[in-house]
Every structure is written in C-alpha cells, then in structure tokens.
Amino acid sequence: DELALIWKDQREVSPAEVDCFAALLGEAAETIARRCGIATRTSNEVVSQTAPENGVRLAELENRVLVLEQTVALLLERMAQRAP
C-alpha cells in the first residue's frame, strides 16, 4: 500500500527509502530522489559512507535529534501551562 502511494505521488519518500531504492535498483541516490520529485538529502549525504564509524555517528545524531525534540515538547508544554 505504501509503495502504491509513492508511485502515485501521494506520499513523499524518506531519505532512508531513497537509499533503499537506490541500492535495490543500482542507481545513485540523487537520481532516485530526483525521479521521486523530491529535494531531500539522502542519509548518505548526512553521513559519509567512507567513514568507518558512520553507523555509530548516525546513531549519535539520531539520538541528539530525539533529545532536542523531547526538549522542545517539554518547553511547549510548560509554555501552554503558563498561558492564561
């Protein structure tokens, strides 16, 4: 169902999906993103594949984003409690 939505241009493709499609189809991730009609960075652009610790680095970045999202949610909650 999700793939059908992508083909019908009813759902945007995530960077991880772009990488997956590129690997499956043997194409460059940039080509897949362009053909999907999106201007998104692939996960390979976020973390270089040449770095041996790329999986660890990506996990660290994902964890930092999670912490930031939680902090923002907490701040928004506190601001809402203060509102008259």
pLDDT tens for 20-31 read: 888 898 988 888
Return the pLDDT at 51.
52
**pLDDT digits over 14-53, tens only?**
888 888 888 898 988 888 888 887 765 545 554 444 455 5
Return the pLDDT at 10.
80
- CA 26 – CA 23 distance, rounded (Å): 5
Return the ∠ at Cα 44 (arms to 9 and 16), rounded to 5°: 40
**pLDDT digits over 62-74, tens only?**
878 888 889 898 8
- Could you tell me the CA-to-CA distances from 73 to 17, 30, 51, 59, 62 in Å, in that order? 27, 33, 33, 21, 17
Closest CA to 35 of 9, 61, 10: 9
